[in-house]
């Protein structure tokens, strides 16, 4: 079985900027450089046949390259005990269209629709027993965080294996955005 998701990889200089935000926060398990990505859709468990069907279908997604910017920081869930610390993604119709096209392809492969609205973000850390007040200094210090714009030239189908040190991601297929 494969635990699958679809994501956009970040350029090295963008990863470096995101990693520079890491600092001591009680209960934070920071994401490693290898785990930084923008998830477009979590798929879940799939056997070899479904993985191949999904990869074939995703190759039919037609979209052109576009630019993104990362900006701002926050946490999920809002107004409750935080579980995820994140960096936001600037509004992009091209990103929303790409995510919507990927969702349609996955539905045609028999997957259940995603029930949560798409909320583009980069996970910075997973939080355990961290109170919102403990994040206030971090949020205030980094509320104006922004990266330069960067080009998105493709997306990737990944498999993920959970390990003691965190998830280990393996690229199953890359799909260039050719327009």
Residue numbers annotated as active site: 37, 121
Residue 127, beta-bridge partner list: 28
Interatomic CA distance for residues 111 and 88, integer angstroms: 27
Residue 70, beta-bridge partner list: 89
List, in order, residues 6 or more apart from 121 with CB less than 8 Å away.
38, 74, 86, 87, 88, 89
Task: Give the phi and the psi of residue 163 in degrees, each rounded to 5.
Answer: -135, 170
137 C-beta neighbours (distance < 10 Å), count: 11
Task: Give the phi and the psi of residue 57 in degrees, each rounded to 5.
Answer: -65, -40
């Amino acid at each position: 079985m494969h635990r699958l998701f679809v994501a956009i990889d970040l350029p090295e200089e963008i990863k470096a900027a995101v990693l520079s935000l890491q600092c001591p926060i009680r209960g934070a398990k920071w994401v490693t450089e290898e785990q930084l990505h923008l998830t477009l859709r979590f798929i879940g468990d799939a056997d070899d046949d479904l993985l191949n069907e999904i990869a074939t279908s995703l190759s039919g997604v037609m979209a052109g390259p576009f630019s993104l910017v990362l900006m701002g920081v926050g946490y999920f869930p809002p107004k409750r005990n935080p579980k995820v610390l994140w960096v936001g993604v600037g509004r992009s119709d091209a990103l929303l269209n790409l995510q919507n096209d990927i969702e349609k392809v996955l539905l045609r492969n028999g997957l259940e629709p995603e029930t949560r609205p798409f909320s583009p973000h980069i996970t910075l850390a997973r939080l355990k027993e961290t109170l919102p007040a403990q994040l206030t200094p971090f949020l205030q210090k980094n509320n104006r965080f922004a990266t330069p714009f960067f080009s998105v030239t493709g997306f990737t189908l990944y498999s993920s294996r959970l390990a003691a040190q965190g998830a280990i991601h393996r690229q199953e297929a890359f799909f260039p955005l050719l327009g």
